Structure 1
Amino acid sequence: MLQVITRVPAKINPVLSVGPARRDGYHDLATVFHAVSLYDEVRARAGDDLTVTMSGPYAGGVPSDATNLATRAARALAKRAGVPAKARVDVHKAIPVAAGLAGGSADAAGVLRACDALWELGASDTELATVAATLGSDVPFALAGGTAVGTGRGERLRGITVGTTLHWVLAVASRGLSTPDVYRRLDELRSGVSVPEPAVGEAILTALAGGDPGAVAASLRNDMQEAAVALRPELADTLRAGREAGALGGIVSGSGPTCAFLARDGEHSGELAARLDASGTCAQVLQVTGPARTGD
């Protein structure tokens, strides 16, 4: 029986600039998406109807009903293509849930890729990206991975060059954070403050293109970090532990609570991971590299 397998990476945001709240409650973003070598694996094969199952260490944190992004992705693709949504899909979850790493978005992107192949649709990247944008702001990026500037809600993408492999250490928290909760706290913190339109800035783009980890570290910026730390004050301890362990720089990833620390190279990454683990300020420490690509 034909089985399609694809791997989809987690992402971090070396820069995340958040604009003022719009009338509809959403925010315009300007961000750098950077996929890293932490993967969920999606397997799809023929079925009499659509079933999506979760396995792996983080399966328990994923909803099993129709709100599951992987299920929604399969149904959205079938509807657009005019075919029955029939597949048996298994997602092996190695990306932590509600962690600021876009694990759910990665799963949706993996399902789009896998079901496109399973159903022999031959959809173009543009067609898949159109479906992806209806599912979530991070899903279009997860279709390909790599590194890209995202604007709008994050769905408008421009791929950018990274001049070297970057070595990161992820400090994973013991429990997740709700992205809507972090946005609400951000709006509270900004109440009465004039908020500029979001912008990535040239410093991070130059640093990435030049392959200079020190310059990348100096350019790390996340407008959501203050709100995430306000909701989880213990993240301040994690960020401090990373600095004291010798990280070139550290940042809350996306809406958190995962913290991402940049190392000079592979050897430094191992040393940094050991020191962070020994600090007791996080539940798990993971060494990853970027940029990574979907399907790698």
Structure 2
Amino acid sequence: MNATASVTVRVPAKVNLQLAVGPARGDGYHGLVNVFHAVSLFDEVTVSVRGDLPPGQAVLSADGERADHVARVPLDGSNLAARAAALLARHVPGATGVHIHLAKAIPVAGGMAGGSADAAAALVACDTLWGGGTPRERLLELAADLGSDVPFPLLGHTAVGTGRGERLAPLPVRGTFHWVFALAEGGLSTAAVFAEYDRLRPDAPEPRLDPELAAALAAGDPRRLGAALANDLQPAALSLRPALGEVLDVGRAAGALGAVVSGSGPTCAFLAESAEHARALAEALRDCKECADAVTAHGPVPGAVVR
């Protein structure tokens, strides 16, 4: 291994097409049926050798187009990418210390799993840098140890997650779907949203995959998919951030085929008829005072790849 070697991995954001949340389990998690869909908003994670650090220890840096989002990225050991490097180092004999640089385009604390995506990218990048040759199945297991949303960015495309969301099965999808994401000022705590969900839904049923949503994906039918989008956490997110309701209303009024809070929020996702419609929808959303910005994307796209 060259001491100056570095590896860059590109990794996508996700949107939840269906997020069905069951009651809290004894281990503190909730049973989920989580339909992940990878979209063309990408972070790039670059790792390079730091021979002055112990194996697996990381120093971090970050940049991106949105300074307010970058400012919310933790640059210490609590960052999931740093935790990914430390975890993998315990399983790869050639591990070194690393510098991890995060080039951020995925919204931070926006319900699009940017931190989880960075952790997945760090696993792939560090394994490549260290010559670990770790099988993808093992990386998926390690990813699940880091968090429920971390395995999916390794796979990308579209998949349904069960258990606490970490057990993945690909879903067939025809064609390309066009999206607009309305970004909000500030973030929403995932833990706070789940706590509010528990308050609002103490009798939550066991989650199940919506067959209509799966059929819409297989048929490549955006209108059917838009009608089937669902997020059990949306009422909790709206309870904590009522202004998000206005954003959803603006998108629907502008002709979105479907509108939903993404994950635990506060990003709102809108399904468009085409790339042209997505651009027009984004313009309409930017005029909403509760929307900090609106970005377009398409999906599905592949998971983490070495550049």
Specify the TM-score bucket, using the shorter chain as the normaliser. Answer: over 0.9
Moved more, 275-284 or 92-101: 275-284
Contact 1:13–1:32, Cα closer than 8 Å, also in 2: yes
| Secondary structure class of the residue paired with 2:71 | helix
Q: Deviations over 1:199-249 (max 9, x none)?
A: 122111110011000010011010000000000000110010110111011
Contact 1:75–1:85, Cα closer than 8 Å, also in 2: no
| Secondary structure class of the residue paired with 2:236 | helix
Superposed CA RMSD: 1.2
Q: Give the equivalent residue in structure 1 for 2:39.
A: 36
Task: Give the drift of 1:83.
Answer: 4.0
Task: Give the drift of 1:3.
Answer: 2.0
Task: Give the drift of 1:24.
Answer: 2.9
Alignment equivalent of 2:284, drawn from 257, 261, 275? 275
- Structure 1 residue ranges, 4+ long, deviating more than 4 angstroms after superposition: none
Q: Give the equivalent residue in structure 1 for 2:104.
A: 93
Task: Give the drift of 1:139.
Answer: 0.4
- The residue type paired with residue 301 of structure 2 is A
- The residue type paired with residue 268 of structure 2 is C
Q: Deviations over 1:23-66 (max 9, x none)?
A: 23220100100011001101112221232222223321011221
Q: Give the equivalent residue in structure 2 for 1:133.
A: 144
User: How is 1:1-296 mapped onto 2 (pairs within 5 angstroms)?
Assistant: 1-48=4-51, 49=53, 50-56=58-64, 57=66, 58-191=69-202, 194-293=203-302, 294-295=304-305
Contact 2:63–2:70, Cα closer than 8 Å, also in 1: yes
TM-score, normalization by structure 2: 0.93
In 2, distance between residues paired with 1:74 and 1:2?
Answer: 16
Contact 2:95–2:130, Cα closer than 8 Å, also in 1: no
In 2, distance between residues paired with 1:24 and 1:137?
Answer: 13
| Secondary structure class of the residue paired with 1:281 | coil
Task: Give the drift of 1:13.
Answer: 0.2
Query: Quick one: structure 1 residues 85 and 75, their matched pair in 2 at CA, closer, same or farther if it must change by over 3 Å?
Result: farther
| Secondary structure class of the residue paired with 1:46 | strand
| Secondary structure class of the residue paired with 2:140 | helix
| Secondary structure class of the residue paired with 2:283 | helix
| Secondary structure class of the residue paired with 1:8 | strand
| Secondary structure class of the residue paired with 1:139 | coil
In 1, distance between residues paired with 2:198 and 2:205?
Answer: 13
Contact 1:241–1:281, Cα closer than 8 Å, also in 2: no
| Secondary structure class of the residue paired with 1:43 | strand
Task: Give the drift of 1:190.
Answer: 1.5
| Secondary structure class of the residue paired with 1:81 | coil
- The residue type paired with residue 55 of structure 1 is D
Q: Which runs of 5+ in 2 are unaligned?
A: none
Contact 2:179–2:297, Cα closer than 8 Å, also in 1: yes
- The residue type paired with residue 46 of structure 1 is V
TM-score, normalization by structure 1: 0.96
Task: Give the drift of 1:2.
Answer: 2.4
Contact 1:78–1:85, Cα closer than 8 Å, also in 2: yes
Residue identity (%): 51
| Secondary structure class of the residue paired with 1:230 | helix
In 2, distance between residues paired with 1:52 and 1:85?
Answer: 15
In 2, distance between residues paired with 1:185 and 1:85?
Answer: 42
Q: Deviations over 1:123-157 (max 9, x none)?
A: 11101111101101010001121110000111100
Task: Give the drift of 1:160.
Answer: 1.2
In 1, distance between residues paired with 2:26 and 2:172?
Answer: 35
In 1, distance between residues paired with 2:246 and 2:204?
Answer: 28
